[in-house]
Amino acid sequence: MNSRLLNRLAISLIVACAVVMVGTLAALLGYILYQGVSQISWSFLTSDSSAFQAGGGIKNQLWNSFYILFITMLLTVPLGTAGGIYLAEYAKQTRFTAFIRSCVEVLASLPSIVVGMFGLLVFVNYFNWEYSILSGAVALTVFNLPVIVRVTENALCSVSEEQRAAGLALGMTQWHTIKKVFLPAAFPGILTGVILCAGRVFGESAALLFTAGLSSPNLDFTNWNPLSANSPLNLFRSAETLSVHIWSVNSVGIIPDAKEVAAGAAAVLVISVLTFNLVARLLGRIVEKKMTGK
C-alpha cells in the first residue's frame, strides 16, 4: 500500500480512538446527569432511606460519605504529607528508603477489596470496632496514604533548586527550610492533589463494604452528642455511604424504585466528584497566584 495512504488511514484511526474516548466521557456524564438529575429533589436529599418501600431518600448516606471523607482526610493528610516530605527531602539512597518506596508501591496497587478484608479482620473483628465509621475511615487511610505520599513528593520535587539553596544559605536547618520555604512553595500542588484524592475517597466503595457496613441507623440531626447511638457524629456506628448505597440497592436491596434511587444517588455522587475536581483546579490556581504574586 502507498505509504501516504497508510499514513492517512492510521492517523484517522488514531483520531477516531481519541474521539471515542471523549465521546465515552460525554455519553457517560450525560447519561448519569440526564437520568439522575430529575430524581434529585429536596426531599430525596433530606429524607431517610427506606429498606423495602419506594420513596426513600439519601440523607444519611450523603452525611456518612462526607463524614467518613472528613475523618479519613484528618488521618491521611498529616501522615501522607510527612511521608512525602521524608521521601523527597530526607531519604538517602539506602535500602531502607528503597523498602519504604516498595511499601508505598504495594499499598498503592492493592485492590480496595483486599484493604476492606484487612479492615474487617483487624479493625472490625480484632479491635472490636464493629462495622463503624472509624473502621471505614482507617481502612480508607491505609488505602489513600500512598496517593498523598506521592502527591507530596512530586510537589516537593518540583520546587526549584534555587529556593532550596536560598533557604539553606540563610542558615536555616533543613526542617526549618522545609517548613518555611518548601511547603509554602509546594502547597498549591499538594492542595490540588489532596482535593482530587478526596474525590477518590468520596466514591470509594469496595473497601467500605466490610468496614463501614451496609446499613445506617436513622440519624437524628438534632442530637450532636458523639456518644449516642443515632447521633450523626458517633464514630462507632455503622455507616453506609453513598457509593455503597448505589451498589446495595442494585445488588442486594429489594426496594421497588432501586433504579430511580440509584440514578439519583449516582448523579449526586458524580456532581460531588466534579465539584471536587473543579474546586481543586480553581483553588490550586488561586493559591498559586497569591503565593507567587504573579
Of residues 104 through 123, those in contact with other proteins by CB under 8 A are 104-107, 109-115, 117-118, 120-122
DSSP string, the chain: --HHHHHHHHHHHHHHHHHHHHHHHHHHHHHHHHHHHTT--HHHHHS---SSSS----HHHHHHHHHHHHHHHHHHHHHHHHHHHIIIII--SSHHHHHHHHHHHHHHHS-HHHHHHHHIIIIIIIS---S-HHHHHHHHHHHHHHHHHHHHHHHHHTS-HHHHHHHHHTT--HHHHIIIIIHHHHHHHHHHHHHHHHHHHHH--HHHHTTT-S--PPP-TT---TTSTT-TT-TTS----HHHHHHHHHHT---TTHHHHHHHHHHHHHHHHHHHHHHHHHHHHHHHHHHHT-
Number of residues near other proteins (by CB under 8 A): 99
Nearest distance, CB of residue 245 and other proteins, angstroms = 9
Q: Any idea how long the chain is? A: 294
Contacting range for other proteins; rule: CB under 8 A; set: 37-45, 51-59, 169-177, 223-231: 169-177
* Angle separating helix axes 59-85 and 242-251, nearest 10 degrees: 130
Site pattern 241..260 for other proteins (x: CB under 8 A): --xx-xx--xx-------x-
Amino acid symbol at 26: A
Rg, C-alpha atoms of the chain: 23
Q: Interface with other proteins includes 155 (CB under 8 A)? A: no
Q: Interface with other proteins includes 146 (CB under 8 A)? A: yes
Nearest distance, CB of residue 283 and other proteins, angstroms = 15
Q: Interface with other proteins includes 100 (CB under 8 A)? A: yes
Contacting range for other proteins; rule: CB under 8 A; set: 21-29, 50-58, 220-228, 284-292: 21-29
Q: Which is nearer to other proteins, 219 or 244 (CB)?
A: 244
φ, ψ at 273 (rounded to 5°): -65, -40
Among 37, 91, 279, 287, binds other proteins (CB under 8 A): 91
Q: Interface with other proteins includes 187 (CB under 8 A)? A: no
Nearest distance, CB of residue 105 and other proteins, angstroms = 6
Q: Interface with other proteins includes 7 (CB under 8 A)? A: yes
- Interacting positions 201-240 with other proteins (CB under 8 A): 202-206, 209-210, 214
Q: Interface with other proteins includes 51 (CB under 8 A)? A: no
Among 34, 45, 46, 99, binds other proteins (CB under 8 A): 99
Nearest distance, CB of residue 228 and other proteins, angstroms = 26
Q: Interface with other proteins includes 288 (CB under 8 A)? A: no
Among 235, 273, 279, 283, binds other proteins (CB under 8 A): 273
Q: Which is nearer to other proteins, 231 or 280 (CB)?
A: 280
